[in-house]
Structure 1
Amino acid sequence: MVNKSLQDTSLPQWPEAAQTLMALMHAQGEVARLSEREQLFSSLLVSVNAVLWAFNWETRQVLYVSPAYDRIFGRPAGLLLSDFNHWRDSVYPDDLDYAERSLAQVLVKGAVEDREYRIIAADGQVRWLSDKCFINRQAEPGQPVIIVGIAEDITEKKQMEAELQRLASTDVLTQSSNRRHFFECANHEFEQARLNGAPMAFLLLDIDDFKVVNDTYGHQEGDKVLQRIAESGRAALRRGDLFGRIGGEEFAAVFPGCAPDMAMQVAERLQREIQRLSFSHDDQTFGITVSQGLSSLTHEDESIDTLFARADAAMYQAKRQGKNRIISG
């Protein structure tokens, strides 16, 4: 007969052993699934082209930063985790005050989703970030304030916006301001001059006999004339002056803070620059002249339109008096 006491101290009966085995297999499956989830999560973090981060507001310590930090900032994440000042040092100097103030606003608002600022990557490249941040509302009273966020590289978007703005405000042929943009800027300068009691002048320039140039040498040569006029304007005008093409062969300039005598000197310098221009076509050489009308701000002027009208009238008077001259009106 089998000794009953030995039987009682042997391995568990089959049902108990099966349950134990099943429990072990289930636990191993859970561990495997957790490992798979961690690997999947890590893969996702590596592939996402945005920096996920967590920040302890009270200790000023970065608790977590995702792998994209290394790619976008060009610096090891370990440096940031060891010292928050590495983030401050990477922010473009002109944007640092805004970046810090907008981060602090999350304490009041709970979320700040419109933060955009520039950073200087390790390679010296300036990049734009959209850095949204949120406060951890699940923290219990007395727990540290944790701010979490996501910073996305929007450099290409900003470059596209800048290019669209340039195209919308620039005359394609001459690369000067177009009419709409010129008068928007001119109106702003007018309002500032009126507000500050400062002088300002308006110059209107029209190419003499431009139709003859087009008819004689062709429109392609006429386009070159317009381009060279624009180059002369950029060379002769002062820093801060406005210059634009406002019509077919008409250009205009605004001289902020410029008294009438100084404005005349600038107009004369531009006149001389244009008179020195020389063009060649089929072994023929020709030059061009311009007629200019100049007006200066007075107490009676209520808008930029009145300055423009006086300059326009003066320019037509210059045409009538023989062209290639400057008349002040």
Structure 2
Amino acid sequence: MAIVSLEGGWLKVNKALCNIIGYSQDELMSKTFQDITHPDDLDEDLRLVHQLLAGEIETYQLEKRYFHKQGHIVHILLSVSLVKNKDGSPRFFISQIQDITRQKTLEMELETKAREDELTKVFNRRHFMNLATREVVRGNRFHEPQAVMMIDIDHFKNINDTYGHGIGDEVLRVMAKECSRSLRQVDVFGRIGGEEFGALLLNAGPLAASTLAERMRKHVEELAVETEKGTVRFTISIGLATFTTPKLPLDELLKRADEALYEAKRCGRNKVINYVVQSNTPQSAAVAPPSFIHLDWNSEYESGHISIDTQHKNLFAICKSLLEAIVSGQPDTKVSEIAHELTEHMTTHFRDESTIFNKSEYPDAEAHTKSHYALIQEVRSVLAKFQKHEATAGDLFNLLVIKMVRDHILTQDREFFPYIQTSSECEEDA
């Protein structure tokens, strides 16, 4: 239990709370609840506090996360009430805090088991089908090119018969891990059953999908599992079905990919065969144009400020080069070089952008500037890990293209556009 000031400072805490989060009473008294609350949970907590102070609610209960003194996460159930003075003005909060870490850990373990294949730790069939079905529907709605991939280990029965099922299981594990690494974080990958796996590639046309599949095939071909009977090497065959809103259900698309997989097996195995689904008819992908995630500048993205728009266009161009380098399987040194260039441009852009909207009347300028700093630190951290082979090209792609371009530039930045447009008009009038 704790008594908390209206500003969030700890006024009085009991030993039970100290034991939960690892701080002494004196240490807690010098902090606020905001200091130890996980940042992802803070906005909701503060929203409820404001409702409490405004008299809109009498009490609230919330599951949230605290940071333990040792740095790990503690899940708690928080119940808060407001104590008022005789004149009705707010005096302080009374908080009841219950440690539910064990319960949340168990829930997360059960959730993991419900979606994860126990042997390979990738999505199980049920979760793969559910997630991929939703993504196919979404792709149809937005007319996005997508691809379904069916993957099968060649001569897997011979591996089991020769080396035993224990080694067969290890082959499945290392193969699934390498396939996951070869794909992008945005893709959906799971075990369909036995030695067969499936993948849904998002925003990937025939050329992009074929390139990703071929990279996967080559990487698996280089794997080796050491046994008492010698080294086990193995290959995979891959069938692809690439499509742009064919209006077919996922199971039908998987059948098309399975037909391509059968053809890959028939042609000698250790191959990639790609069928393009157009007008519900499989066709050769040989003449299909490349189709990547769309990173072409559009006038709809413009803010109305010449400097910001010019820098955004440059960032788009570099991101497109990065994406093409990743998808085409260029060396890590080349990917790293482009990512470093993007980081430098992004740092300069964020500095200039902050200067511009700080001069305007944008009310969230300080918070937006902080998000710039956090994003730059995250990019530098992931880039450093990538150069040490501790992060994948997919990690870079997800951070730089998805988080930085899609989530930040195309979403968060739009919040200050009206303010800088007004500011620009005022400058012109002056």
TM superposition score category, shorter chain reference: 0.7 to 0.9
User: Is this contact kept in 2: 1:127–1:155, CA < 8 A?
Assistant: yes
8 Å Cα contact 2:151-2:239 kept in structure 1: yes
Corresponding position of 1:196: 142
C-alpha contact 1:293 1:318 (8 A) present in aligned 2: yes
Shift of 1:307: 2.2
Looking at structure 1, the residues matched to 71 and 85 of structure 2 have their Cα atoms a distance apart, in angstroms, of: 39
Distance in 2, matches of 1:141 and 1:281, equals 79
Normalised TM-score (structure 2): 0.58
What is residue 121 of structure 2 aligned with on the other side?
Answer: 175
- Residue matched to 2:102: 156
Of Structure 1 and Structure 2, the greater helix share is in 2
CA distance in 2, matches of 1:157, 1:326: 45
Instruction: Check 1:287–1:62 CA distance in 2 against 1; reply closer, same or farther (3 A cut).
Output: closer
Indicate yes or no: 2:86 matched with 1:128.
no
Q: Distance in 1 between matches of 2:90 and 2:188?
A: 54
- Alignment deviations for residues 12-62 of structure 1 (CA, whole Å, 9 cap, x no partner): xxxxxxxxxxxxxxxxxxxxxxxxxxxxxxxxxxxxxxxx123454x7665
Separation (CA, whole Å) in 1 of partners of 2:211 and 2:267: 20
Determine the C-alpha separation between the residues in 2 that align with 1:150 and 1:61: 15
How big is the shift at 1:280?
A: 4.8
Structure 2 counterpart of 1:121, one-letter code: H
Match of 1:117 among 37, 48, 64: 64
Measured in 2, the distance between the counterparts of 1:60 and 1:236 equals 47
User: How far 1:247 moved relative to its partner?
Assistant: 0.5
Aligned to 2:3: 54
* Structure 2 unaligned spans of 5+: 276-430
Cα 1:147–1:289 change in 2 (3 A) is same
2:257 is equivalent to residue 308 of structure 1: no
Shift, 1:218, TM fit:
1.9
Change (3 A) 1:142 1:173: closer
CA distance in structure 1 between the partners assigned to 2:255 and 2:234 by the alignment = 25
What's the offset of the Cα at 1:266?
A: 0.8
Is the partner of 1:246 in helix, strand or coil? strand
**1:292/1:305 CA distance change after superposition, 3 Å:** same
Structure 2 residue 17 is the aligned partner of structure 1 residue 69: yes
Q: Which residue identity is paired with 1:110?
A: E
Distance 1:285 1:69, change over 3 A: closer
Structure 2 matches for 1:1-329, cutoff 5 A?
52-55=1-4, 57=6, 62-78=10-26, 86-106=32-52, 107-113=55-61, 115-136=62-83, 142-144=88-90, 146-329=92-275
Q: Secondary structure at the match of 2:98?
A: strand
Map Cα deviations across residues 74-127 of structure 1 (whole Å, 9 max, x no partner). 33435655x6x62111111222112211333444232322x1111212222221
Give yes or no for contact 1:79–1:86 (8 Å, CA) kept in 2. no
Contact in 2 for aligned 1:105/1:112 (Cα 8 Å):
no
Partners of 1:53 and 1:278 in 2: CA distance: 57
Deviations 1:193-224 (A, max 9, x none): 23333222211101122222222322222112
Q: Is the 1:241–1:254 Cα contact (8 Å) retained in structure 2?
A: yes
Which shows bigger deviation, 198-207 or 208-217? 208-217
Partner SS state of residue 239, structure 1: coil
Equivalent residues of 1:56, 1:144 under 8 A apart: no
Residue 279 of structure 2: aligned partner: none
Structure whose alpha-carbon radius of gyration is higher: 1
Deviation at 1:282, TM superposition (A): 4.8
Residues 212 and 88 of structure 1, relative CA distance in 2, 3 Å threshold: same
Tell me how far apart the structure 2 counterparts of residues 74 and 217 of structure 1 sit (CA, whole Å): 51
Deviation at residue 131 of structure 1 after TM alignment = 0.5
Q: Deviations over 1:111-166 (max 9, x none)?
A: 322x1111212222221111012345x97653535542211122222222112212
Deviation at 1:268, TM superposition (A): 0.3
**276-285 or 251-260, which moves further after superposition?**
276-285
Report the Cα distance in structure 2 between the residues aligned to 1:126 and 1:105, rounded to whole angstroms: 27
Question: Any conservation in 1 of the 2:122–2:190 contact (CA below 8 Å)?
Answer: yes
How many pairs align?
Answer: 273
Whole-Å Cα distance in 1 between the matches of residues 164 and 262 of structure 2?
25
CA 1:194 to 1:145, structure 2 compared with 1: closer, same or farther past 3 Å? Answer: farther
Unaligned runs of 5+ in 1: 1-51
State whether residues 144 and 244 of structure 2, in contact with CA within 8 Å, keep that contact through their aligned partners in structure 1.
Answer: no
Percent of aligned pairs sharing the same letter: 34
Is the CA contact (8 Å cut-off) linking 2:9 and 2:33 kept in structure 1? no
Residue type of the partner of 2:78? D
Answer whether contact 2:9 2:32 (CA < 8 A) is retained.
no
Report the RMSD for the aligned CA atoms in angstroms.
2.5
Deviation readout 1:176-199 (Å, 9 max, x if unpaired): 111111122212322332333322
